A and B are shown apart, each in its own frame.
Chain A
Amino acid sequence: MNVQFKKGILEICVLVLLEKQDCYGYELVQRISDKIEIAEGSMYPLLRRLTKEGYFTTYLQESSEGPSRKYYKLTDKGKDYLHEQMQEWKEFSNAVNQLIEEGVQNND
């Protein structure tokens, strides 16, 4: 998939994952990179930016294995932002799907 295109979508993915439950960075990175090919290192700048924008708060939690982990928690502002973004995404993907279907029909 086109590189520029994937970048914007990554934000929605992170927000959606955090809406269900708080996650630590590694977990977020793995769950997304399982499905979408990404440079994993660039997820952390993204998480930092969204935290600075006030969409997440972070807290440290001890882990039974290894060092304590930094968890990300979605704020109310983050939730509002997510719903805005999801709405936009739905409209956008519906439009693209429609165009693709029309294209397929024309080719038959």
Chain B
Amino acid sequence: MTEKQFMDQLNASLKKLSTEEKQDILQDYQEHFAIGKAEGKTEEQIADALGSPNKIARELLAMYHLEKAETNVTAGNMFRAVWAGIGLGFFNLIIVLGPFIALLAVVAAGWVIGLAFSLSPLLVLINVVIYPGSFVLFDLFASIALCGLGLLITIGMYHLTNILTRGFIRYLKLNTSLVKGGLTND
């Protein structure tokens, strides 16, 4: 691969980054090529030793998405960070996706329980409207108690979701820093 081919490929794979950051990255590799050539190496030798531009871009993109998820916690940013983490290799498919799905399931279940409990008085009301004869005070009080419990669970889930999201971003960061610095030459 020539210097131009290497730089073009890297440039194309880094489309998502801001122009400023992309320039900064490309400059590092330009400098690397320039010094290598001054030492008498050919462009092909230098490019070979650098490795695949796509792999380099994958690491940089994973880093970028993580930073975004960290500064601006939205579901979309989280998904992109997880996706980019998985993109670093098969090893990561299991290490990243497994905990993520488990976490998602726990959070989703918690929210569903909290909301269902909170809305239970509504069900009693609907029941009374449809079958006016069936009203029992016990139902009403039980549902009010459930509603209170549901509200507590919902508030708890709100905080738990925040904590878990932060924790998971940290886990992703640790994971990317481990997988990063890809030392394979293939």
Interface residues of chain A, those whose CB is within 8 Å of chain B, are 3-4, 6-8, 10-11, 24-26, 29, 33, 36-49, 52, 65-67, 69-70
Band of interface residues on B: 20 to 34
Rounded to whole angstroms, the CA-CA distance of A4 and B31 in the bound complex is 28
Q: A39-B50, A40-B51, A41-B50 are in contact. Are A49 and B177 (CB under 8 A)?
A: yes
The residue in chain A whose Cβ has the minimal distance to the Cβ of B56 is A41
The residue in chain B whose Cβ has the minimal distance to the Cβ of A47 is B28
The residue in chain A whose Cβ has the minimal distance to the Cβ of B46 is A40
Q: Contacts of A70 on B, CB cut-off 8 Å?
A: 27-28, 31
Rounded to whole angstroms, the CA-CA distance of A67 and B31 in the bound complex is 7
Q: List 21 A-B contacts (CB under 8 A).
A: A7-B182, A11-B181, A24-B35, A29-B32, A33-B49, A37-B185, A39-B49, A39-B50, A39-B183, A39-B185, A41-B56, A42-B180, A44-B29, A45-B59, A45-B181, A48-B60, A49-B177, A66-B34, A67-B34, A69-B31, A70-B31
Interface SS, B side = helix
Q: A26-B35, A49-B63 are in contact. Are A41 and B178 (CB under 8 A)?
A: no
Rounded to whole angstroms, the CA-CA distance of A29 and B30 in the bound complex is 14
Nearest chain B CB to A61's CB is how many angstroms away?
A: 12
Nearest chain A CB to B151's CB is how many angstroms away?
A: 41
8 Å CB contact of B181 from A24, A26, A46, A69 = A46
The residue in chain A whose Cβ has the minimal distance to the Cβ of B37 is A66
Return the 6 tightest CB-CB contacts between A and B, nearest first.
A39-B51, A41-B50, A26-B35, A41-B51, A45-B59, A7-B181
Q: Contacts of A36 on B, CB cut-off 8 Å?
A: 183
Q: A66-B35, A67-B31, A69-B35 are in contact. Are A44 and B56 (CB under 8 A)?
A: yes
Nearest chain A CB to B7's CB is how many angstroms away?
A: 12
Q: Which of B27-69 contact A (CB under 8 A)?
A: 27-32, 34-36, 38, 49-53, 55-56, 59-60, 63, 67
Rounded to whole angstroms, the CA-CA distance of A11 and B29 in the bound complex is 19
Q: Contacts of B138 on A, CB cut-off 8 Å?
A: none
